[in-house]
Structure 1
């Protein structure tokens, strides 16, 4: 892990315990076994869906995207606002909304498999 990913435990301490796992050149950030954030190039991205997308758009934040064989792939994560690194309550609120988005995505996958 890096100092950056290690610091996220403090950032999200009011939200609850997190685990960090290496993945595809970055890190997945998990709470209760569910990924709600990721880190790529020392930048934190939080999960979004239709219910919290407006929060990210109002802040003018950028979506996470990467190049895959010459085409840009966008995932369901947006850059986290810088303010949450200085405000633990704000960090907990953003984390909670992103975790809820991850829960909804997981529930949708279960329905599709049934």
Structure 2
């Protein structure tokens, strides 16, 4: 569950265009926030983006895997960032903005 400082720096650089980012260490991983939204996490040097059922087919088509912190646990609503997005800053930002929209919609639904 370790996150290397090099990988964290790489991800923060890739995601910089979405606006000011903050990162918080949590449970051996790192949570990523933008505009007050928890929209991504890093675990074992893998970036996971928040998703919903509408995004699921897109994540699956891109070869992404759901985040499952423990083998017996149910997957969480985060998916590994598509491999091609890691090498394409514009594509990464597009995926991140979609993840932020999901986070914003979920926040609005909570009382």
* TM-score, with length taken from structure 2: 0.88
Counterpart check, 1:65 vs 2:68: yes
What's the counterpart of residue 38 of structure 2?
Answer: 35
Structure 2: gaps spanning 5 or more residues: none
Partners of 1:17 and 1:8 lie apart in 2 by 13
Give the number of aligned pairs. Answer: 108
TM-superposed deviation, 1:99: 0.3
* TM-score, with length taken from structure 1: 0.86
TM-superposed deviation, 1:51: 2.5
Partners of 1:79 and 1:103 lie apart in 2 by 19
TM-superposed deviation, 1:45: 0.3
Point out the structure with max Rg over C-alpha: 1
Q: Which residues of 2 match residues 83-98 of structure 1 at below 5 A?
A: 83-98=84-99
Mapped contact 1:45–1:79 kept (Cα < 8 A): yes
Higher strand share: 1
Partners of 2:104 and 2:84 lie apart in 1 by 24
Counterpart check, 1:77 vs 2:97: no
Partners of 1:104 and 1:50 lie apart in 2 by 13
